[in-house]
Each structure stands twice: as structure tokens, then as C-alpha cells.
Amino acid sequence: MKIIAGNWKMNGSRSGLDEMISALDNVETQNTVILCVPFTMVRGGTSRVAVGAQDISTHDKGAYTGEVSGQMLSDAGAKYVIVGHSERRAYHNETNAIVAEKATAALANGLTPIICVGETMDEKQAGKTMEIIESGVRESVPQNVSGKIIVAYEPRWAIGAGLTPTDQEIAAAHTLIAKTLESMGLAGTPVLYGASVKGSNAAQIMSIEHVDGVLVGGASLKSDDFIPIITSVK
């Protein structure tokens, strides 16, 4: 059984989400299916598909104009929230420390954080991939979260680019993440791969050791693209 999560980023509509959920409700699968949508679309899911958000405030409530709290996300029906996505790190200066605070805020409100780590092209070219991944996990994952989190490895240079690392690179990254989590007392934490996943490469990527599922951007927007990813693995 794998975890197949979609990240709609800043796309879609409420009616489009209703249509997607209706389509997914008819899919025969044992896999866990999650759709992380913009704040305005967050709603309760169904027995087949859970709904999540893409960001969360570090604060509980108060004078933080424009922020959305974990309590609000729970109240709207969310079960999951992505934290530390590459685009939040790039455009909103989110550091590992902020990501850890956001993950803590999610857990305090009964949400499962999907904690993203991954290297930029500059870091990759400087030979720092493994270092960035390991420090990303150590610094972005809070203490005492066994069984409560999901980690996603998203090589930042490959997102939306139609590029994917080699199978060996994915295996090395996921093995390092699994070992790092184990050393933190978090053995068995699911680790998703994300960046340019589509129907044609999903099964191969999910056959790689320590890849427990995928986090899908562009190919999660249309049911014709997303369903083949969900059904590509048992």
C-alpha cells in the first residue's frame, strides 16, 4: 500500500475539487489518496480521499492578517497539511526551523504534516545533496512525532521541470532519509517522492526502496492524469 498525495498549488476551484473527489471515489485502490488544495477549497474528504492544505500558520490565533491556523484547517475538514514545500522555502523564506514550527502547529491540531525536504540545483551542483537532505530532516522534523508525520523528498530542481533524478539518486536520497529518521526514533515514517511524477513513471519510482508513495503537482490536477498514478501500484 502506498500514499498518493496531490498538491494542487494555486490551481483549481471548489467545483473542480468536487468533480475530482467524485471521480476518485470510484477508483478501486488500497492506496491512501490525499489532495492538498488551496485554503479556500479545504473541506472534509470521503472514505476514499482525504483533503489537506498546503501551508499553516505557526500561530494559534490573533492579529496575524492573512494567516490560517491549524485549528481553522481542522475545522474546515483538513486531515493533512504540506509544510516546507520548495515554493514556500523559495518565495516565503521558510527555513527548516520555521518548517519544524509549522509541523508542530499541525500536530497540535490533529493534522498530519507532510514535511518537505530537498536540494536546489545550486546545492546539487555543489555536491551538497546528501548534506541538505540530512540537515533538512534533522531540523525540519519536530521531536516525539513517531507515527504522526509524513516526509516528502522533493528535489527542488526537478519540480515542474519534467526532470527526475536517476533511480539510483532517488534510492540514495530515500535511504539516507529513512536512516536519518531511524536515528531520530522515527523508523517506519512514510517517505514520499515528489517532482515530475506522472502516470508513465509513477510505478517505477514507487518500486524503489524506501519510496512509500508520491507527492504529485501538475499531474494531480486532472483525474485523467491522477487516477493512472493511483492505480499504477497495488
Q: List contacts with ligand 13P (CB under 6 A).
A: 7, 85, 154, 159-160, 194-197, 215-219
Q: Of the listed 87, 94, 119, 154, which one is catalytic?
A: 154
- What would the 3-class secondary structure string for the chain be? CCEEEEECCCCCCHHHHHHHHHHHHCCCCCCEEEEECCHHHCCCCCCCEEEEECCCCCCCCCCCCCCCCHHHHHHHCCCEEEECCHHHHHHCCCCHHHHHHHHHHHHHCCCEEEEEECCCHHHHHCCCHHHHHHHHHHHHCCCCCCCCCEEEECCHHHCCCCCCCCHHHHHHHHHHHHHHHHHCCCCCCCEEEECCCCCCCHHHHHCCCCCCEEEECHHHCCHHHHHHHHCCCC
* Closer residue to ligand 13P (CB): 28 or 124: 124
Q: Minimum distance from CB of 156 to ligand 13P (Å)?
A: 9
Q: Which is nearer to ligand 13P, 45 or 217 (CB)?
A: 217
Shortest distance (Å) from residue 113 CB to ligand 13P: 14
Q: Which residue is nearest to ligand 13P (CB)?
A: 217
Given the residues 85, 94, 119, 210, the one annotated as active site? 85
Grid cell in block for residue 57: 500558520
Contact 117, 140 (CB under 8 A): yes
Nearer to ligand 13P, 59 or 199 (CB): 199
CA 76, chain centre distance (Å): 19
One-letter amino acid identity for 63? A
Least separation in angstroms between CB 185 and ligand 13P = 26
Q: Smallest gap, in angstroms, from Cβ of residue 177 to ligand 13P?
A: 16
Q: How far is the CB of 37 from ligand 13P (least distance, A)?
A: 12
Is 92 among the residues known to form the active site? no
CB closer to ligand 13P out of 26 and 166: 166
Instruction: Say whether 154 is catalytic.
Output: yes
What residues are labeled active site? Answer: 85, 154
